[in-house]
Amino acid sequence: MLRYIVTRAIASLPVLFVISLAAFALMHIAPGDPVAFMLGRNAPPEAYERTRKDLGLDKPLPVQYWIFLSSVAKGQMGQSLIYRVPTRDLIFQRLPKTLLLSVLALIVCYLIAIPIGVLAAVKRGSAIDFGVMAGATLGISIPSFWLGLILIMVFAVKLRWLPASGHEGLKVLILPVFTLAIGEAAVVARLIRSSMIESLGGDYVRTARAKGLNNFRVIFVHALRNAMLPTISVLGLQLGFLLVSTVVVENVFGWPGVGRLLVESISRRDYPVVQGTLLVLGVTIVLGNLIADVLYRVANPQIRYV
């Protein structure tokens, strides 16, 4: 297991390198100048050039990229061009809020998906099954930003039950968490349904029924335990999708996480923060996939890694 984890970690380094290189290239190709954001369009040419030199923006692009990679190798990520503070401090100040949002959404996702996925499998071919699958298809199709706006209009503006934005208290988490969770719950529910249908037709389920076990135990102890294995294998991918979705959802709800920092940094051409944020998100997704692989190994000891 340890050998597998180390191998996966090493294999992920080229992926992170490509992510940082793509972010660097796209930020420099896109129009806009961070110095113009800092000094304004009417700044004197001398101040403009001096600021560019102080920030290192007068150096060739390969040199700028090498400086960034050297900083990462030393455990740093350079300095924000706009905030003039270490990029690492900016990112890790907001990362816990994004992880909180993503983890809560993942928990809510499974709390929703498991019951309706099992219900659809048990009632296969019925109106309930059709309704669950239609709802799952609708949930997959709805864009997260549109769903977030609808939830704000209904529960914050019309009913006034929940706040539309903020970052203190539990109530402010409800709308963004459900916005993130509903789309993923639809995917997981479809996966659980198909796995449960296969499990319910297995020999071990027929044996359990023949032994006289009650229906609840057969479904939730024997069938569901095996049906959850494919779901565990995609747990890391789901965490990755949730982290990507937070970029949109955090901006819709004004949540002060890494996703909102990324959008702000892109709009202001804060190159080090954009690259650092993408690297941190990439590392988080890689770690999520590793954790999912370990959980899959624990759930199914017959799996062997090479």
Q: Domain segments of the chain: what residues?
A: 1-306
pLDDT at 12: 78
Predicted pLDDT at 11: 77
CATH top-level class for 1-306?
A: mainly alpha
Nearest to 219 by CA among 193, 185, 244: 193
Least confident piece of the model among 96-110, 139-153, 163-177: 163-177
Residue 258 near residue 277 (C-beta atoms within 8 A): yes
Cβ partners under 8 Å of residue 284, min gap 6: 95, 99, 239, 243
Residue-wise pLDDT tens digits, 234-256 = 777 788 888 888 888 999 898 88
pLDDT in tens, 87-118: 888 999 999 999 899 899 999 999 999 999 88
User: Which of the four pLDDT bands, split at 50, 70 and 90, describes residue 299?
Assistant: low
pLDDT digits (tens, 9 = 90+) for 119-144: 888 888 889 889 988 988 888 888 88
pLDDT of residue 239: 80
Pick the range with the lowest mean pLDDT from 40-44, 92-96, 161-165, 199-203.
40-44
Residue 176 has a pLDDT of 92
Chain segment 50-82, per-residue pLDDT in tens = 877 877 777 888 888 888 888 888 878 878 888
Any idea which of 30-44, 140-154, 204-218, 280-294 has the lowest mean pLDDT? 30-44
For residue range 181-234, what is the model confidence (pLDDT) as tens digits?
A: 998 898 888 888 888 888 887 777 777 777 777 777 888 777 887 788 778 777
User: Reduced to 3 states, what is the DSSP secondary structure of residue 294?
Assistant: helix
Provide the mean pLDDT of the chain: 83
pLDDT at 205: 77
**What pLDDT, on a 0 to 100 scale, did the predictor assign at position 306?**
52
Q: Region of 254 please: left (phi>0), alpha (psi -120 to 50) or beta.
A: left
Q: What is the mean pLDDT of residues 19-32?
A: 77
Q: Is the pLDDT of residue 300 over 70?
A: no
What confidence category does residue 305 fall into, taking pLDDT thresholds of 50, 70 and 90? low
Whole-number pLDDT of residue 79: 83
Cα 173 to Cα 19, 64, 121, 247, 261, distances in angstroms: 30, 39, 31, 15, 18
pLDDT at residue 302 above 80? Answer: no
